[in-house]
Structure 1
Amino acid sequence: MARVRYLDREDLAPEYQDMPRMKSNITRALANSPRGARHVAGTGMYLRHESSLNPRLRELAILQVGYSTGSEYEYAHHIDVALSFGVSETDILAIAADSAGQACTLEPLARAVLQAAREMTEQLSLSDATFTVLNDALDAESLIDLLIAIGEYNGMVRIMAALQIDLEPEFMTYLERFPLPIRTE
């Protein structure tokens, strides 16, 4: 159960009742700070609808953050988003293989994106080798947008964990189809 109350649209002051995505538990929790929620949503909407970064690569990076952190909420929600932006089921399954150092069917740039997301998630940095691959393949704007996406979603998984956000039941099937690694901690 979440550590803060999930708000509904009618719980908000009139100037915030147009808040998008008020059906998702993370938005309903963040709505306890409506101005903050609006800023978070703004970054997400920029990345999803205005960024020059290829949407498939963006979603692969976000999925890798969710996978690496074991964030059921982030991972399941972004499987839903990723499938609508051209990420295939084979791509999603490849995240587990690539994370385990196994062969997968992803092209080199997609594998470099996953590597960047793992490095920034697990080591808080980006190796010169990974940066070079990305820098050679992406223009500067797309590269920066990729790093913003990885950083943004690393922040979000931490907020979700701190608030103990509940995954909505309709997203549970994604975890069954694309399981997260079993945590031993």
Structure 2
Amino acid sequence: MARVPYLTPDDLAPEDRDLLKRPITLHRALANSPGMARAFGTIGGHIRYGSTLDARLRELAIIQVGYLTRSAYEYSHHCRLGVEQFGVSAEDIHAISRETEAEGNGGFPELETAVLRAAREMVTDMTVGDATYATLEAGIDRADLVDLIVTIGFYCGVVRILASLQIDVEDDYAPWLEQFPLPA
């Protein structure tokens, strides 16, 4: 159960009801602070709709963050989004598990392996190592590299928000956790 109430559009001032155009539990909780919800949505919106970073690479990185941090909410949401909208396959998601547990044996190409490693390094070490950075720098342009780093950092923050506010996974995302279970 969340630590703050899940609001509905009727709970909000008319000028803030657009905050719940996608009424997922995270947005319904963040709407308790409309200004913060709007700011959160601005960066999240840019990551999803404004960045030129390849969407598949972005989703691989976010799924890696969710997997490594054991964030059921983030992981289930981005497994679904990745598969349904952004070219991530079921095998990719299983391979992320292998990549995480075996440190590089997921079978991904070099750039995708570096994206996943960058996400792991940012979660565990708070930075991207020099070798990983060099591989990323050789594989994507500077704007996309910055977008990747900011995306990973943003989702490292998102998982902490989700955990601290105890945001519930919605019923329609729960099957994704059955198909792609997180480690105990």
Q: Shorter-chain-normalised TM-score: which range?
A: over 0.9
- Unaligned regions of 5+ residues in structure 2, if any? none
Query: How many percent identity over aligned positions?
Result: 48
Q: Which of 167, 179, 182 is equivalent to 1:180?
A: 182
- For 1:8-157, what aligned pairs fall within 5 Å after superposition? 8-83=8-83, 84-101=85-102, 103-157=105-159
2:29 counterpart letter in structure 1? A
* Contact 1:121-1:154 within 8 A present in 2 as well: yes
Whether the 8 Å contact between 1:25 and 1:167 is mirrored in structure 2 is yes
- Judge conservation of contact 1:73–1:165 (CA < 8 Å) in 2: yes
Q: Offset at 1:21?
A: 4.3
After superposition, the CA RMSD in angstroms is: 1.0
Residue 30 of structure 2 contacts residue 36 of structure 2 at CA under 8 Å; is this kept in 1? yes
Runs of 4+ in structure 1 over 2 Å off: 102-105
Unmatched 5+ stretches in structure 1: none
- The CA distance in 2 between the partners of 1:100 and 1:48, in whole Å, is 28
Say how many residue pairs are matched: 182
**Cα distance in 2 between the residues matched to 1:164 and 1:20:** 19
Counterpart amino acid of residue 79 in structure 1? C
Q: Distance in 2 between matches of 1:103 and 1:142?
A: 25
Q: Distance in 2 between matches of 1:7 and 1:128?
A: 44
What TM-score, normalized to structure 2? 0.96
Q: CA deviation at 1:104?
A: 2.4
